[in-house]
Chains A and B, each alone.
Chain A
Amino acid sequence: MNLPALLQTNRWSISTRFLAVIAPVLVIIGILTSLWSFVGPTTQLYRQQIVDQTTQLSNLGGQKAGIFLAYKLNALREMSADSAIAAAAVASNAGYAGLSEAEATARLNEREAEWERGGALLNSVRNNPASVRLQGFLESNPGYTEVLVTDRYGGVVATSGGEQDYIDSDEAWFMEAITGVAYLSAPEPHEITGEPMIAIGLPIVSNGEIVGAIQASYAIMALADQLGVPQLRGFGIQRIIDPEGKIIVSPLPEELDQVYAPALAVMEAQGGAITEAGANLEGTGLSDNRSVVASYGAVVSEGLAPLIDAEGLVWWVEVDSSLYFGPLNQNRTSSVVSTVGAMLVLLMLVLFVARYATRDVYLLVRDVEAFAKGDLSKRVSPKGSREVQDLGTAFNGMAEQIETDFHKLQESEHLSRVQNETLIKGNRELAIARRQAEAANKLKSQFLATMSHELRTPLNAIIGYTQLQLAGMVGDLNDELRGFQERIFVNAQHLLHLINDVLDLSKIESGRLDLIERPYNLRDCIDEVFTQNRVLAENKGLKLNLKVDERLPEIVIGDRGRVKQVLINLLSNSIKFTDAGTITVETTLQDNNTWRLAVTDTGIGIPSHLQQTIFDEFRQADEGFERGGTGLGLAIVRRLVLMMDGSIRLSSEVGTGSTFAVTLPMVQTALEDAEWATNGVVEA
């Protein structure tokens, strides 16, 4: 799985994501840096630098050695040219003048014997001016340990001191020096101190003649010290190597005068002698050892000739590059360590930065989580970067909205709960009230029914007895008594009407009056009422007219009883309140669904201030009772009309008469219904 996929699938924090991206990069950079320190140009450069420096060192060393050797040799040559020295040799030579070779040899042996005995010769030699000069030479030329001068026969004529043989004629240095050639020995251990010494022999020339030889021992290590050879000790080594490949100067006494194989190899490669300075060490055996960087420079000094042929001497420098590279390796290690350290620091920095950068987000998240857990009043305090602040501000806005909405919701919930409770309570109360009302209504109905029954029962007796008398069924009455009985009868009838009306009204009011809607013959119904009341009207001397609209259908659907009751009430009302004139019942078809019933009389009329309340209970006009009204008739009419979805209108003028006009809805019906209505139980 690659990194983008990982980043996509894992719920890592921003810090982790930073790390996931940066850490591999850092590790790669670290590895590359470490590798670079091994193979990069720095190492090569450094190595080359070491080679260059070594080469330079060898060249400088060669030059320095040449100069120094020349200086040392010159000091000795100057000494050889000293007049006292030469004089000592010349004086000694004089003793041999005229002697044959054999005689000369005899004299030399003689003098040697004397020298061995420690006689006058020894003393004169050691104390003569030449020896004093030699002692001075030693003092002013450190490194030189012994110096002596011989005559031309090899006899010692001056010495800086110490035990010496008298005759040096058989010594290599003498034999070479007496021929005019400078002698340079290989280093040899000092007889007493064991210190490596080289012997230098020079001819003493006086007046163009070789009169003797001078020889000095030089502690080669002193030369090495003075040339700075030991300076490289611990890192490498510097040597002076002669043309034969022998080591003549070295900080290591044990290897002096030893043939040095690498140098020999170089010489062979260069055709017998080292003539070039350089670091070409191929085939030396040193080149295989990578830890060694070697170089050599020729010891060149014009000043050495003709005393010493310095040609072929080389200044050999070997540097243990491993020691040089040691620090570099250490450097490298430390650089790796520091790189890794830097990486770690960088990683931590990255982490820190990431944490720092996301700290605000974390704080935000913490607060947001608190909000999410239900603390709706929680607001974030956006700090830090602009993005986080924007986010925080946006969140706060959202939180504000949510909290407000939530509170609204809570309020509305609470409200609706309260409303609900109120509603339930209200419903309960309503139900109770309704039950109570129903119970009360039932009680009322029961009471009315009972009342009606209990009133009718005595009325039956009253009316019965009165009728028996009036009808003459129980004997005859005189006129006065008959009059009384009639009054009793009228009043009892009135009481009976009153009871009936009250009963009707209370039934209407309590909603117990149900309309029974069936098909019936409207015209018959009207005729019936008209006929019933005509006698009443005529008895009062009134004229009763009936005008029936020809368009009025015979059969309609409705509550015949209630229609009849309305008509009866209106008609009897008019008869009651009309003393003379005409009462007209007029029916009109208004439209297909409405018919109108108007009862017009020429009665006393109703004052306008009473017209509004005439339909209220017990609101009949003043003379009402006297005329037999109960005060309930019109109230019942109005209620019945309203029940039947109709309307009633009154127009009246006092002294002229009144018109009660009822408009009722009408449903016409088919003939079959009419026949059914005619033949059915409806008429019962």
Chain B
Amino acid sequence: MTTKQVLNVTDWIVLVVDDMPDNLVVAQLALKYHGAQVFTATNGQEGLDLLQQVQPTVILLDIRMPTMDGWQMFEILRGSPETRDIPVIAVTAYAMDTDKERILAAGFDGYLAKPFNVVTFVSEIADALSSVPHSG
């Protein structure tokens, strides 16, 4: 961070789904700092509702949430042809090795453990997206 060169992601439309507003704010600030357009939802259902209007570049999905958790929402996303191809990166406080394995095995396109590093947050997302085959 000694260099002032900031990763520019102005073409990103990011949907952040997290039940904790503070975390939504932190993520939103970090993303916006890098130029991304950010939508937020506090649970899966809200996220799905939002998708009626928005076509995000990537969805940052918390796992543990009320009403509809990340697993359920992910399942619906992957079950629908319209949303199936949207990259989904889990951003969760389930930070154990087994959690990471389980999430990646389920088909998530990336995994970030909370607390995430705000400084490297966007670049890590970019790394994850770059390895998604069709997002090219």
Instruction: Give the interface of A toward B (CB within 8 A).
Output: 449, 452-465, 467-468, 471, 473-474, 492, 496, 500, 503, 561
List of A residues within 8 angstroms of B115 by Cβ:
456, 459-464, 492, 496
A460 & B96 in contact (Cβ 8 Å cutoff):
no
List of B residues within 8 angstroms of A471 by Cβ:
1, 118-119
Q: Which of A457, A462, A467 contacts B93 (CB 8 A)?
A: A457
Known: A464-B23, A471-B119, A473-B33; 10 extra A-B contacts, CB below 8 A, are: A452-B95, A461-B115, A464-B22, A465-B22, A467-B119, A468-B29, A468-B118, A471-B1, A473-B30, A500-B95
B20 & A474 in contact (Cβ 8 Å cutoff):
no
Q: How far is the CB of B6 from chain A (nearest CB, A)?
A: 9
List of B residues within 8 angstroms of A462 by Cβ:
115
Tally of contact residues, B, Cβ under 8 A? 24
Q: How far is the CB of A71 from chain B (nearest CB, A)?
A: 166
List of A residues within 8 angstroms of B20 by Cβ:
457-458, 461
Q: How far is the CB of A240 from chain B (nearest CB, A)?
A: 160
B114 & A456 in contact (Cβ 8 Å cutoff):
yes
Q: How far apart sit A456 and B115, CA to CA, in the bound complex (Å)?
A: 6
List of B residues within 8 angstroms of A503 by Cβ:
96
Q: How far apart sit A532 and B84, CA to CA, in the bound complex (Å)?
A: 38
Q: How far apart sit A455 and B26, CA to CA, in the bound complex (Å)?
A: 17
List of B residues within 8 angstroms of A461 by Cβ:
20, 22-23, 25-26, 115
Q: Which of A449, A468, A496, A500 contacts B26 (CB 8 A)?
A: A468
- For B100, give the chain A residue with the smallest CB separation: A684
List of A residues within 8 angstroms of B30 by Cβ:
464, 468, 473
List of B residues within 8 angstroms of A467 by Cβ:
117-119
Q: Does B49 contact A (CB under 8 A)?
A: no
A453 & B93 in contact (Cβ 8 Å cutoff):
yes
> Could you give 17 example pairs across A and B, Cβ below 8 Å?
A452-B93, A453-B92, A453-B94, A453-B95, A454-B93, A456-B93, A456-B95, A458-B22, A460-B93, A460-B114, A460-B116, A461-B20, A461-B115, A464-B115, A467-B119, A473-B30, A496-B115
Q: Which of B86-128 contact A (CB under 8 A)?
A: 92-97, 113-119
Q: How far is the CB of A365 from chain B (nearest CB, A)?
A: 81
- For B94, give the chain A residue with the smallest CB separation: A453
- For A500, give the chain B residue with the smallest CB separation: B95
List of B residues within 8 angstroms of A453 by Cβ:
64, 92-95
Q: How far apart sit A431 and B27, CA to CA, in the bound complex (Å)?
A: 49
List of A residues within 8 angstroms of B117 by Cβ:
467
Q: Which of B64, B92, B95, B118 contacts A464 (CB 8 A)?
A: B118
Q: How far apart sit A453 and B97, CA to CA, in the bound complex (Å)?
A: 13
Q: How far apart sit A465 and B27, CA to CA, in the bound complex (Å)?
A: 10
Q: Is the interface of B mostly helix, strand, loop or mixed?
A: loop
Interface 1/0s, chain B 25-45, versus A by CB < 8 A?
111011001000000000000
Q: How far apart sit A397 and B115, CA to CA, in the bound complex (Å)?
A: 87
Q: How far apart sit A7 and B43, CA to CA, in the bound complex (Å)?
A: 107
A459 & B96 in contact (Cβ 8 Å cutoff):
no
Q: How far apart sit A467 and B118, CA to CA, in the bound complex (Å)?
A: 6
The 4 closest A-B pairs by CB, nearest first: A464-B26, A456-B93, A467-B118, A460-B115
Q: How far apart sit A462 and B23, CA to CA, in the bound complex (Å)?
A: 9
List of B residues within 8 angstroms of A474 by Cβ:
29, 33
List of B residues within 8 angstroms of A455 by Cβ:
93
List of A residues within 8 angstroms of B119 by Cβ:
467, 471
Q: How far apart sit A104 and B94, CA to CA, in the bound complex (Å)?
A: 207
- For A465, give the chain B residue with the smallest CB separation: B26
List of B residues within 8 angstroms of A473 by Cβ:
29-30, 33, 118
Q: How far is the CB of B82 from chain A (nearest CB, A)?
A: 30
List of B residues within 8 angstroms of A464 by Cβ:
22-23, 26-27, 30, 115-116, 118
Q: How far apart sit A454 and B118, CA to CA, in the bound complex (Å)?
A: 19
- A467-B119, A468-B26, A474-B29 are contacts. A452–B96 as well, Cβ < 8 Å? yes
Q: How far apart sit A591 and B30, CA to CA, in the bound complex (Å)?
A: 52
- For B114, give the chain A residue with the smallest CB separation: A460
Q: How far apart sit A453 and B30, CA to CA, in the bound complex (Å)?
A: 22
List of A residues within 8 angstroms of B26 by Cβ:
460-461, 464-465, 468
Q: How far apart sit A473 and B75, CA to CA, in the bound complex (Å)?
A: 34
- For B6, give the chain A residue with the smallest CB separation: A473
- For A474, give the chain B residue with the smallest CB separation: B29
List of B residues within 8 angstroms of A463 by Cβ:
115, 118
Q: How far apart sit A496 and B116, CA to CA, in the bound complex (Å)?
A: 11
List of B residues within 8 angstroms of A465 by Cβ:
22, 26
List of A residues within 8 angstroms of B116 by Cβ:
460, 464
Q: How far is the CB of B18 from chain A (nearest CB, A)?
A: 9
Q: How far apart sit A453 and B115, CA to CA, in the bound complex (Å)?
A: 10
Q: How far apart sit A661 and B22, CA to CA, in the bound complex (Å)?
A: 45
Q: How far is the CB of B32 from chain A (nearest CB, A)?
A: 9
Q: How far apart sit A98 and B26, CA to CA, in the bound complex (Å)?
A: 230
Q: How far apart sit A460 and B25, CA to CA, in the bound complex (Å)?
A: 11
- For A471, give the chain B residue with the smallest CB separation: B119
Q: How far apart sit A467 and B33, CA to CA, in the bound complex (Å)?
A: 13
A459 & B29 in contact (Cβ 8 Å cutoff):
no
List of B residues within 8 angstroms of A457 by Cβ:
20, 23, 93, 114
Q: How far is the CB of B107 from chain A (nearest CB, A)?
A: 15
Q: How far apart sit A455 and B95, CA to CA, in the bound complex (Å)?
A: 11
Q: How far is the CB of B56 from chain A (nearest CB, A)?
A: 21
Q: How far is the CB of A486 from chain B (nearest CB, A)?
A: 14
List of A residues within 8 angstroms of B27 by Cβ:
464
Q: How far apart sit A473 and B20, CA to CA, in the bound complex (Å)?
A: 21
Q: How far is the CB of B106 from chain A (nearest CB, A)?
A: 15
Q: How far apart sit A453 and B18, CA to CA, in the bound complex (Å)?
A: 14
Q: How far apart sit A492 and B119, CA to CA, in the bound complex (Å)?
A: 16
List of A residues within 8 angstroms of B1 by Cβ:
471
List of A residues within 8 angstroms of B97 by Cβ:
561
Q: How far apart sit A463 and B113, CA to CA, in the bound complex (Å)?
A: 13
Q: How far is the CB of B115 from chain A (nearest CB, A)?
A: 4
- For A472, give the chain B residue with the smallest CB separation: B1
List of A residues within 8 angstroms of B33 by Cβ:
468, 473-474
Q: How far apart sit A457 and B64, CA to CA, in the bound complex (Å)?
A: 10
A449 & B96 in contact (Cβ 8 Å cutoff):
yes
- For A516, give the chain B residue with the smallest CB separation: B97
- For A450, give the chain B residue with the smallest CB separation: B64
B23 & A449 in contact (Cβ 8 Å cutoff):
no
Counting chain A CB atoms within 10 Å of each CB, the highest count among B25, B64, B96, B115 belongs to B115
Q: How far apart sit A460 and B62, CA to CA, in the bound complex (Å)?
A: 12
- For A453, give the chain B residue with the smallest CB separation: B93
- For B93, give the chain A residue with the smallest CB separation: A456
Q: How far apart sit A474 and B32, CA to CA, in the bound complex (Å)?
A: 10
Q: How far apart sit A550 and B88, CA to CA, in the bound complex (Å)?
A: 45
Q: How far is the CB of A563 from chain B (nearest CB, A)?
A: 15
Q: Which of B48-105 contact A (CB under 8 A)?
A: 64, 92-97
Q: How far apart sit A464 and B23, CA to CA, in the bound complex (Å)?
A: 8
